[in-house]
Chains A and B, each alone.
Chain A
Amino acid sequence: MFIDFFYSLKTAGIQVSPTSFLTLQKALNMGLINSLDEFYTSARAILVKSERYFDVYDQIFAHRFEGAELPEVQGFEIDEISRAMLDEWLKDPQALAQALDMDEAQLLQLTPDELIRYFKARLNDQKGRHYGGATWIGTGGSSPVGHSGHHPGALRVGGVSRNQSAVKLALERRYKDYTRRGLLTQDMVGEALKRLRNMIPVGPEDLVDIDKTIYQTMKNCGEIEIVFSRSLKDRLKVILAIDNGGWSMDPYIPVVQTLFDYARDQFKDVKICYFHNTVYDVLWEDPARASKPIPVEHLSAFDPQTRLILLGDASMAPYELMAADGSIHVEERSGKPSLEQLKFLAQTFPHSVWLNPASSQLWDYTPSIKTIRQIFPMFELSLDGLEEAVRHLMAR
């Protein structure tokens, strides 16, 4: 009866299982659900298992049962992006008018919503990727909206920056998923990381050592002596934050992948997140840095004993660290300069290190590395550097 509903939930990306659908049918058959309101809440409790999907569920429910319009597929992402972009541009209407090929007067007559619609129309008109040319949004070419083009004041829309001085990015969605298993050549990374494990025996001495107890008891001629031993439990939690963005980290990707593969297996709890160049308001849980943000301030709720390992080349323009809106991602800019966020992280996790794949001989030549070294102890991503980093992380 509700099979359509079930499948529209599934296509929308909610992980609904057939079992839970059958459970819902059972609930209906038992006469537990007698009104649409009850159906709404019960179906949600039974089918949707995470509050992240509640919003999507609401939309689909409204569509299926109350005839509301479904948002366009992918509409959401573009919405977010275009809104962020327009926020930027609205500060400078002239540049915006220029970028959208409009007069300023024409522009002033449009409401922000109309503007966004116009921009979306431009995006949607374009099918597939586009290089060069002068009309649509793409890479190269002279269209006002796109990236690596030659339009003065044009906005960069995704892609790989050809010029090192970063133009603003907005539509970056094509990153490799680094969690894939790559060639494991650097055994030494694993060797060093192993030191992180097997350390600090925690917990009280509450484990009865049966063998020793029997032995001691026999030795005492049957007078019972119970021997306790410390329960060895590896409770090390690790947050691994990896800079996986931009060309500047590309040469280190194989090393990063190796480190990854080891880290996955070695700890009780490894949280891996991503950032680009430096940390702003959020860290990302997905390598594409698109869909799963973790606000940095939420990290304060983590166990302060968690070991925080940042991995990145720490090379960037100084303003990316210092300026309150330094992020080259428009959607990440909301107030605090990255420097503050890094200090906050270092404060929250006293056991933290920054691993840098660049040779330490070059560190003194990059101002941003110098600055970050004042906040995090920095170590080279080499066997020696890792050993030192591990020693630092384990220090009391």
Chain B
Amino acid sequence: MEGNISNKKFSGATRYVLDDELASIVNVSMALEMPLLLKGEPGTGKTMLAHAIAKSLAMPLIVLNVKSSMKLVHALYQYDTLTRLNDSRFSDSNRDVSNIEDYIKMGKIGQSFTSEQRTVLLIDEIDKADTDFQDDMLDVLDQMEFDIIEIDKTMKAVHRPVIIITSNAKKDLSDPFLGRCNFHHIAFPDPKMMRKIIGVHFPDIDSNLMENAVTTFYRVRKIDAVEKKPATRELINWIRALKSDPDFKPKTLITGEIPYLGVLFKKSQDYQRAVEATSGGPVI
């Protein structure tokens, strides 16, 4: 397996602009078999990175979307008692009611362990869960095995998945958790990087439009007290909207008039603030 890994090096994907720094961190983490923790503002491409890795290494991607109410067991496996109860009552399925294993379903982490192929496991927004969940999960990922209590069986990972964990910058994770991952903070792309990203998504974009759109984008990001600042995703959608509008001229952006503001600001309060801030001519 070792040789297998070092042959496979990650070097970007068609829709993802990768900087060298991040590339080498991804490769080192893969080689060290350690989870990579990515922090950064929403919209800096944390989740996209996992998709890009999976795509470029041709591995299946398994996404675990962490929710605040989530318990670790749910991510590992689920014992479907209700189906079993139902089967025992009506006995019209081909499952064996006396065999509990028939009613164990693998959760996302379980799936990545049992998969025949090496997978990329994306654990998205880990900071939503409580610290117990985080620490316990890291134990499982460290040992690469977990127990299914109901059938007293230990599940061992067939292949060690490539683990990418994302977290929004708001909350700090616990020390033992941090100790077991490699860490990288993705900064919000600067205008230069942003132009590259736009270029990847719209290869045939008019340079005038790109220039004005990017400038306007960074200008509206500076509006105060906005709950959710527009991120890369919003910019891409916005440009898509601008491009599809036949009446739109890039020049209008310079005058401070911003069409489709709703694509950039999605919360009603934010939208209000943005309208107020932009209505009085160009924002300085």
Q: Report which residue of B27, B31, B225, B227 has the largest number of chain A beta carbons within 10 angstroms of its beta carbon.
A: B225
The listed residue (B25, B68, B224) touching A235 by CB distance below 8 A is B68
Measured CB to CB, the nearest residue on chain B to A224 is: B89
Whether B179 and A27, one on each chain, are in contact in the complex, defined by CB atoms closer than 8 angstroms, is no
B95 on interface, CB distance cutoff 8 Å = no
A233 interface residue per 8 A CB criterion? yes
Q: Which residues of A contact B227 (CB under 8 A)?
A: 300-301
- What mask results when residues 20 to 31 of chain B are scored 1 for a CB within 8 Å of chain A, else 0? 110011011101
| Residues of chain B with a CB closer than 8 A to A42's CB | 24-25, 28
B182 & A46 in contact (Cβ 8 Å cutoff): yes
* Shortest CB distance B125–A (Å): 14
Knowing A17-B179, A42-B25, A50-B178, say if A32 contacts B32 (CB, 8 Å): yes
Q: Which residues of A have CB within 8 Å of B169?
A: 51
B224 contacts across to A, CB distance below 8 A: 297
- B34 contacts A by Cβ under 8 Å: yes
Q: Is A41 within 8 A of B21, CB to CB?
A: yes
A49 with B183, Cβ < 8 A, contacts A32-B31, A300-B226 known: yes
**Chain B residues within 8 Å of A27, by CB:** 28, 31-32
Pairwise interchain contact B31-A51, C-beta atoms closer than 8 A:
no
By the criterion CB–CB under 8 Å, are B183 and A45 in contact?
A: yes
Report if A226-B185 is in contact (Cβ < 8 Å); known contacts: A27-B31, A42-B28: no
| Complex partner residue of B34 from A23, A30, A48, A208, CB under 8 angstroms | A23
Question: Does A177 interact with chain B (Cβ within 8 Å)?
Answer: no
Separation of A134 and B161 alpha carbons in the complex (Å) = 69
Q: Is the CB of A224 within 8 A of B86?
A: yes
Asked whether A10 is an interface residue with its Cβ less than 8 Å from the other chain, the reply is no
With known contacts A23-B32, A297-B225, A50–B172 Cβ distance under 8 A: yes
Q: State in angstroms the CA–CA spacing of A42 and B32 once bound together.
A: 11
Q: How far is A32 from B225 in the complex, measured between Cα atoms in Å?
A: 44
Q: A23-B34, A203-B69 known; A301 and B82 CB under 8 Å? A: no
A41-B69 contact in complex given A19-B179, A49-B178, C-beta closer than 8 Å = no
A27 to B39, CA, bound (A): 22
- B185 & A51 in contact (Cβ 8 Å cutoff): yes
Q: Does B193 contact A (CB under 8 A)?
A: no
In the complex, the answer to whether B182 meets A224 with C-beta atoms within 8 Å is no
B200 CB–A CB distance under 8 Å: no
The answer, yes or no, to whether B254 is at the interface (CB within 8 Å) is no
Closest A residue to B224 by CB, please name it: A297
Are the C-beta atoms of B175 and A45 separated by less than 8 Å?
Answer: no
Question: Which of A42, A44, A231, A233 gathers most chain B CB within 10 Å?
Answer: A42
Interchain CB contact (< 8 A) of A208 among B37, B82, B181: B82
Q: Does A267 contact B (CB under 8 A)?
A: no
The answer to whether B36 and A45 touch across the interface, beta carbons within 8 angstroms, is yes
Instruction: Tell me the smallest distance from the CB of B225 to a CB of chain A, in Å.
Output: 5
Whether the Cβ atoms of A49 and B179 lie closer than 8 Å is: yes
Find the A residue at minimum CB distance from B85.
A224
Chain B residues near A226: list those with CB within 8 A.
Answer: 82, 85
Considering residues B28, B29, B68, B69, which has the most beta carbons from chain A within 10 angstroms of its beta carbon? B28
Q: A113 CA to B20 CA in the complex, in Å?
A: 36
CB within 8 A of B31: which of A15, A30, A203? A30
* Interface positions of B from 75 to 96, Cβ below 8 Å from A: 81-82, 85-86, 89
Q: Find chain A residues with CB under 8 A from B86 CB.
A: 224
Q: How far is the CA of A42 from the CA of B61 in the complex (A)?
A: 24
B170 proximal to A (CB < 8 A) = yes
Judge whether A33 and B28 touch: CB under 8 Å.
yes
If A17-B179, A224-B89, A235-B68 touch, does A45 touch B225 (CB 8 Å cutoff)? no
Instruction: Please list 28 pairs of residues, one from A and one from B, whose beta carbons are closer than 8 Å in the complex, sorted by A's number.
Output: A17-B179, A23-B32, A23-B34, A26-B32, A27-B28, A27-B31, A32-B27, A32-B31, A32-B32, A38-B28, A41-B28, A42-B25, A45-B29, A45-B182, A45-B183, A45-B184, A46-B183, A48-B183, A50-B172, A50-B183, A51-B39, A51-B169, A208-B81, A208-B82, A224-B86, A226-B82, A301-B228, A344-B225
In addition to A41-B25, A45-B183, 8 A-B residue pairs with Cβ atoms within 8 Å of each other are A33-B28, A38-B24, A38-B28, A45-B36, A224-B86, A301-B170, A301-B227, A301-B228
